[in-house]
C-alpha cells in the first residue's frame, strides 16, 4: 500500500511540473490563481522546482520502503536536494504573488 501512495504522489508531482512547464511556455495560470499571481515566470518556475523537489523526496521514501534504509549515501543527498528544491519553489511561489513596490 505504501508503494501505491508514493507512486500516486510522484504522479501528482510530475503533474505540477507539467503545469509549471505550461506556465513558462504559454503564460497559462490556473483559473483559481489568476487574481493573485503577478509574475507568471516566477510562478512557472516555482511549480517546476516545487514539483521536482517533491518528486525527489518521494523517490527517496520509495527507495527506503523497498531497501529498508533511508540514510544511504545517495539517498541522503537526494533527500537534501529535494528539500532545497521544495523550499526554493515555495519561496518563488511567494515571490510570484508579492506586489511590486
Residue 23 CA to residue 41 CA, distance in Å, equals: 7
pLDDT at res. 30:
86
Mean per-residue pLDDT for 11-20? 95
pLDDT at res. 25:
93
Angle, alpha carbons 85-88-91 (nearest 5°): 150
More confident residue, 27 or 86: 86
pLDDT at res. 18:
95
Does the pTM surpass 0.85? The reply is yes
Phi, psi of 28 (to 5 degrees): -75, 135
pLDDT at res. 71:
61
Q: What are 35-85's pLDDT values in tens digits? A: 888 899 999 999 999 999 999 999 988 888 776 666 667 778 888 999 999
pLDDT at res. 99:
84
Amino acid at each position: 500500500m505504501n508503494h501505491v501512495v508514493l507512486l500516486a504522489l510522484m504522479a501528482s508531482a510530475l503533474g505540477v511540473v507539467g503545469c509549471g512547464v505550461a506556465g513558462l511556455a504559454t503564460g497559462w495560470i490556473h483559473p483559481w490563481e489568476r487574481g493573485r499571481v503577478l509574475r507568471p515566470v516566477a510562478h512557472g518556475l516555482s511549480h517546476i522546482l516545487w514539483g521536482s523537489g517533491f518528486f525527489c523526496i518521494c523517490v527517496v521514501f520509495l527507495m527506503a520502503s523497498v531497501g529498508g534504509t533511508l540514510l544511504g549515501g545517495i539517498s541522503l543527498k537526494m533527500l537534501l536536494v529535494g528539500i532545497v528544491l521544495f523550499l526554493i519553489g515555495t519561496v518563488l511561489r511567494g515571490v510570484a504573488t508579492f506586489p511590486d513596490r
